[in-house]
Structure 1
Amino acid sequence: MSIFKVELKKVVDDSYEIETGFSLEKKIVQDIQDGLVGNIQKFAIITDSIVRDLYAQPICEQMVKAGYQAEIFSFPAGEKSKTRATKEMVEDAMLAHGYRRDCCIIAVGGGVVTDLAGFVAGTFGRGIPFINYATTLLAAADASVGGKTAVDTPLATNLIGLFNQPQKVYLDIATWKTLPQRQLASGMAETIKHACMASSDLFTFLEEHMDDIMHVEQGACEHIAKENCKIKYHVVEKDEKESGLREILNLGHTVGRAIETVSDYRLLHGEALAIGMIAQALLAESLGYMTKDMVERVRSLYQKAGLPVTIPAYIDREELVKKLYTDKKVKNGKLRFVVEKGIGNIVEFEPGVYATPIEESVARKIIAQL
């Protein structure tokens, strides 16, 4: 018998830039010409049916004009498309068009697009580079930063995927002007969540400037884009693979994701998250970490953004309770919640532990209040 040890120790630098601005289509092409992804000449532009003509097509045309091979691969817009079947469809289409390991993916769209495209990039040819061009506030606040890529299944959301960092992220605030108000409001949900968990100053800014943001005023929007990136960076920097601290980014998601799924995606992610954030605030109050006034400030800010704060009547409460157990924070069959501490902080239950077991009876009581 013999043993051969394979030594594969290595140091990895996954650093990348996040560029925020208005109308960045020409900038992405210029960066690629300047060597952003080396000498790659073939680009697969992954997008959805809504964004395709608005932003993906102009980027594709500029890429072709600059001498690159670029083609668009799109799928129907919406969370229901974030599946293994869609991923397979995109991969097969890329293969059919001659794409191999010598290509790069450009994801143009919101969170569904960046999640799915980043997952494709991580497995296609055993890994190819990708760039995120975020066109929604939700993607700017959450999905385009941090390297979490995944698809949903009928049993759970975001549990099939991998951590995969992009070469660069572009946050084009000009694209927010074409968003319906409902989509813009949905994107605000993650921004408010970031303020609740990490910045009382940002929370106050949102209270004072919500109307400016909802009208896509440049200064206010650039400020929240920068603050979102900064808050998420400080978490991801310390815990890239979600072994502890990064769980705080799931604030409000235990109930929020369950509501989103049980609604059969009639609710947008941010709408479901808003309700989930009120649920965790009520839980925090019951545990002594927030006052009634603090809970009311959170509720009022979500309402000011035009987001729901109660569970719709059509949601089956029993199905919702069952769905809570598909949350990725569940351990040993126990529900676990991240809990807000005041405005702008999170409870650390013990060193490095940011989620606590909660009995189903307690969760039911909170849901009954919504």
Structure 2
Amino acid sequence: MTSFRVNLKKVVDDSYDIEIGRNLFESLINDLKNGLVQGVHKYAIITDSHVEKLYANKIVDLMKENGFNVEKFVFPAGEKSKTRKTKEIIEDAMLEKAFRRDSCIIAVGGGVVTDLAGFIAGTFGRGIPFINYATTLLAAADASIGGKTAVDTELATNLIGLINQPVKVYLDIESWKTLPIRQLSSGLSETIKHACLGDGEFFEFLEKNIDKVINEKGEAVLDPATCEHIAHKNCEVKYKVVSLDERETGLREVLNLGHTVGRAIEVVSDYKLLHGEALSIGMVAQVKLANSLGYLTDSEMSRVIDLYKRAGLPVSIPDYIDRDELVKKLYTDKKVKGGKIKFVFQDGIGKIREYEDGKYSMVISEEPIKIILDDMRV
């Protein structure tokens, strides 16, 4: 018997810029003209049926006017489209349009678009470059940094995918003006989560300034300075985590704060709840459990719940959600190991609980979870 060792040591620089501003279409065009991506002859704009008319068509027209070879690929808007089937349909359409390895994908839209397009880019031609043009507050908070791309299945969410970093991200704050109020609130949900896990001062800023984004009447205000600060802070908090654990081998699981219940309830609701709405409920479950474990004071728990309420987000479980089905769905969470449900917990506001073994999640049995879930019924 003989053997041959293959030595392949990688030194990879996956750094990229995030540009935060308003109406960044011309900035994108100028970057492409100045060689943002090299060796590319065809561009695929991937978007959904809602964003297509609002922003994608304009980007396609501008690119064509500037001599770029570009095609548009559109799928039905909504989380239900974030599937392997949709990925397959777009990939086949790209192949039919003669897209090959000299191509680049530009994702224009929210988190569903960036998740799906980034996954396609990671596997098409064994990997082609992609750019994110984020048009929602949720995408700005959740998809701008980290490179996590994935699709959902009937059995689990975001467990089929890969880590794939974009070439550049554009956060167009002007696009937030076209968001329905529910979508705006949904984006604030991830924003509040970031403050809870990594920045107590940012949490206090949100307490003082949330009404400059959405007022007490549930109307969009979108104060420019406040929105820009929120966009920067979301990037900053997430960067601190991702830079230390890009491949989600340990620390990065803290970004799943609130997602154990949140992701499960999103699926069990059949996506009647937006991601941020489901996360809000998941965060309330998390702070209630954390309070019962002594990680959060009564005052801290109330502050988190009150801020989610002020952002126009639900803090109770809708009556159409079956508790047993919800508990069963918790076992599909990506933190589950050995058939045991794990939670990430806050340790006060602005910090995550770390355990003696260097882990950031804790096994919780079904009984205390069921008690909390029953307590959260509408």
Same fold by TM-score, threshold 0.5 exceeded?
A: yes
Residues 1:282 and 2:288 are matched in the alignment: yes
| 8 Å CA contact retained: 1:46, 1:107 | yes
Deviations 1:326-348 (A, max 9, x none): 00001111100000111111100
The residue aligned with 1:83 is 83
Which consecutive unaligned segments of at least 5 residues does structure 1 have?
A: none
Q: What is the letter of the counterpart of residue 294 of structure 2?
A: G
The residue aligned with 2:119 is 119
The residue aligned with 2:303 is 297
The residue aligned with 1:4 is 4
Q: Distance in 2 between matches of 1:176 and 1:109?
A: 11
Q: Distance in 2 between matches of 1:244 and 1:210?
A: 32
Q: Give TM-score, length-normalised by structure 2.
A: 0.97
1:53 is displaced (CA, Å) by 1.1
The residue aligned with 2:218 is none
The residue aligned with 2:360 is 354
The residue aligned with 2:68 is 68
Q: Distance in 2 between matches of 1:301 and 1:5?
A: 56
| 8 Å CA contact retained: 2:136, 2:187 | yes
Q: Distance in 1 between matches of 2:89 and 2:224?
A: 38
Q: What is the letter of the counterpart of residue 146 of structure 2?
A: G
Deviations 1:196-241 (A, max 9, x none): 1111111111111112123111100000100000000010000001
The correspondence for 1:240, drawn from 220, 236, 246, is 246
Q: Distance in 2 between matches of 1:194 and 1:219?
A: 19
- SS state of the match for residue 288, structure 1? coil
The correspondence for 2:271, drawn from 220, 242, 265, is 265
Q: What is the letter of the counterpart of residue 340 of structure 2?
A: K
1:352 is displaced (CA, Å) by 2.6
Which stretch has the larger CA shift, 222-231 or 343-352?
Answer: 343-352
The residue aligned with 1:316 is 322
Please show how residues 200-279 of structure 1 align to structure 2 within 5 Å: 200-214=200-214, 215-279=221-285
Q: Give TM-score, length-normalised by structure 1.
A: 0.99
Q: Distance in 1 between matches of 2:40 and 2:87?
A: 22
Q: Distance in 2 between matches of 1:42 and 1:216?
A: 36
| 8 Å CA contact retained: 2:144, 2:235 | no
Which consecutive unaligned segments of at least 5 residues does structure 2 have?
A: 215-220
Q: What is the letter of the counterpart of residue 26 of structure 1?
A: E
| 8 Å CA contact retained: 1:186, 1:307 | yes
| 8 Å CA contact retained: 1:133, 1:169 | yes
Deviations 1:231-272 (A, max 9, x none): 000100000011110000000000000000000000000000
| 8 Å CA contact retained: 2:82, 2:152 | yes
| 8 Å CA contact retained: 2:212, 2:223 | yes
Structure 1 runs (4+) deviating above 4 angstroms are none
Q: What is the letter of the counterpart of residue 258 of structure 1?
A: A
Deviations 1:120-157 (A, max 9, x none): 00000000000000000000000232000000000000
1:293 is displaced (CA, Å) by 1.0
Q: How many residues align?
A: 370
Q: What is the letter of the counterpart of residue 204 of structure 2?
A: T
- SS state of the match for residue 45, structure 1? strand
- SS state of the match for residue 74, structure 1? strand
Q: What is the letter of the counterpart of residue 129 of structure 1?
A: P
Residues 1:363 and 2:369 are matched in the alignment: yes
1:41 is displaced (CA, Å) by 2.5
The percentage of aligned residue pairs carrying the same residue is 65
Q: Distance in 1 between matches of 2:308 and 2:137?
A: 15
| 8 Å CA contact retained: 1:191, 1:228 | yes
Q: Distance in 2 between matches of 1:90 and 1:210?
A: 39
- SS state of the match for residue 229, structure 1? helix
- SS state of the match for residue 206, structure 1? helix
Q: Distance in 1 between matches of 2:292 and 2:236?
A: 30
CA RMSD of aligned residues (A): 0.7
